[in-house]
């Protein structure tokens, strides 16, 4: 299969690069005293990523420029925490990130702007937020506290929401589906059991090109981030929309084909490096075995591997003997 280093990160960026999604996310997820003062009509995606070499191991970011009270230009930064463990000192990493933005603005001779940082977390276990002063223990008096750069950030932890709360909170189909998938992605049983509920309005996605594109991203996310067979999702989604079910399996097949072709190219390259044709043959046969084990038919395997039907049948017989 084609390796996707971080399918969660990829899906996050696809979801929140949609301005309408970010509009509703701020409106529904931010403290009201802040969201009511942001002119959401002024939201503009900042194409620059301000993640440095150190931070990229922990976060990826989406940045939007907008107006606050129509008087102040600000940046809203959404940082996706994509490590498998929770960060111990998020304030320190956020401070480094904020300083990086300000340094860039200064170098470009621009005014520095206030920044609202948001950490988006969907990992296993609750993200425990605490004040930066607490990092230093209990013995600080007020004279010392004034030297600590204290600041806040908004935490969005999907563990703190039930599926029903997400469904009731967000009206936009993209944001609702995206949040439900990211919340449940590590509990495959939950996704399989609730896929019909999560996709109850999937027909609406097929009414626009943007919706169709987002559906493809959903398929890719489930394909790369879970071990559930695509046909399981396809069959369940087909109960709601036959079009969506067919599209799911066809998109998954394309992902398999793309990954297998990449595997073949790699196998051929490795074989050439060794100076033997054996490397290529073994790689193709290995791919064919994987496809057979995944229940794909002979014609699809022929298309992917260029093996003829007779060769594929021989491999099927060998596979049965090995079992």
Predicted confidence (pLDDT) at residue 289 exceeds the cutoff of 80: no
- 40 versus 301: which is more confidently predicted? 40
Token pair for residue 6? 């971080």
pLDDT at 230: 86
Spatial distance between the Cα atoms of 86 and 230, rounded to a whole number of angstroms: 30
Find, among 45, 60, 48, the residue nearest to 107 by Cα.
Answer: 48
pLDDT at 278: 45
Q: What is the mean pLDDT of residues 212-221?
A: 94
Q: Long-range contacts: 135-141, Cβ < 8 Å, 24+?
A: 135/89, 135/91
pLDDT in tens, 196-210: 899 999 999 999 999
Token pair for residue 15? 């979801």
Q: Is the Cα dihedral 242, 246, 249, 251 positive or negative?
A: negative
Say if residues 231 and 245 touch (Cβ distance below 8 Å): no
pLDDT at 176: 96
Say if residues 66 and 43 touch (Cβ distance below 8 Å): yes
Token pair for residue 35? 């969201």
Give pTM, 2 decimals. 0.78
pLDDT at 75: 97
Provide the mean pLDDT of the chain: 86
Where residue 252 falls among pLDDT bands split at 50, 70, 90?
confident
pLDDT in tens, 120-143: 999 888 888 889 999 998 889 999
pLDDT in tens, 164-185: 999 999 999 999 999 999 999 9
To which residue do tokens 């100076």 refer?
A: 275
């Amino acid at each position: 299969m084609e390796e996707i280093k971080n399918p969660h990160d990829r899906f996050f960026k696809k979801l929140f690069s949609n301005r309408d999604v970010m509009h509703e996310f701020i409106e529904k997820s931010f403290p009201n005293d802040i969201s009511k003062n942001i002119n959401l009509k002024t939201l503009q995606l900042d194409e620059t990523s301000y993640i440095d070499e150190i931070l990229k191991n922990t976060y990826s970011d989406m940045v939007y420029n907008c107006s606050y009270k129509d008087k102040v230009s600000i940046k809203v930064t959404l940082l996706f925490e994509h490590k498998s463990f929770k960060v111990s000192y998020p304030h320190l990493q956020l401070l480094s990130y904020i300083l990086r933005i300000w340094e860039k603005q200064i170098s470009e001779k621009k005014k520095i702007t206030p920044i609202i940082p948001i950490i988006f977390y969907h990992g296993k276990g609750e993200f425990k937020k605490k004040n930066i002063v607490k990092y230093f223990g209990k013995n600080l008096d007020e004279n010392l506290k004034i030297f600590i750069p204290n600041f806040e950030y908004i935490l969005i932890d999907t563990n703190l929401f039930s599926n029903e709360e997400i469904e009731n909170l967000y009206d936009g189909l993209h944001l609702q589906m995206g949040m439900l998938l990211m919340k449940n992605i590590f509990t495959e049983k939950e996704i399989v059991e609730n896929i019909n509920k999560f996709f109850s309005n999937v027909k609406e996605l097929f009414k626009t090109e943007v919706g169709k594109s987002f559906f493809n991203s959903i398929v890719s996310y489930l394909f790369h981030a879970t071990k559930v067979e695509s046909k399981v999702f396809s069959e369940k989604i087909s109960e709601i929309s036959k079009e969506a079910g067919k599209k799911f399996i066809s998109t998954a097949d394309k992902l398999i084909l793309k990954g297998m072709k990449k595997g073949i190219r790699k196998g051929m390259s490795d074989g050439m490096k060794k100076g033997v044709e054996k490397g290529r043959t073994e790689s193709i046969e290995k791919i064919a075995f994987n496809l057979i084990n995944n229940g794909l038919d002979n014609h699809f395997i022929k298309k992917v591997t260029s093996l003829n039907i007779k060769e594929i049948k021989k491999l099927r017989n060998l596979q049965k003997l090995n079992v």
